[in-house]
Amino acid sequence: MVKGVNKQIIEINDTGNKYFEKVLLFVAPGKKDLPCELLHAKAKEYVMEFSGGGCQTLSLREAVKKKKTRKTVAFISVGVLAAAVITALIINIL
């Protein structure tokens, strides 16, 4: 429900999201005097933050694979660091 008659609304029809076809943004009262081009650019920028820049969302399988990859990289990094510390200790002992 929209109250008042002085509301300025920006409607985005191209959301880049397969679930949502339209977004309505209500312009803040102090920003109504800004140029329309700037408001539209900021509105599109804001919407693209939520849609991943127009890209489709990851499937569950892709998300799990990405998470496993990050864990593997972290595990390997810790292993390399541990090997470096052990090597440094051995060199200092000898």
Could you list the pLDDT tens digit for every one of the 94 residues in the chain? 445 555 688 888 877 777 778 888 888 888 888 888 888 888 888 877 766 554 455 566 766 777 778 788 888 888 888 888 888 888 888 7
Three-class DSSP category at 71: helix
Contacts 24+ apart (CB under 8 A), 30-38: 32/8
Q: Please state, in angstroms and rounded to a whole number, the distance separating the CA atoms of residues 9 and 46.
A: 14
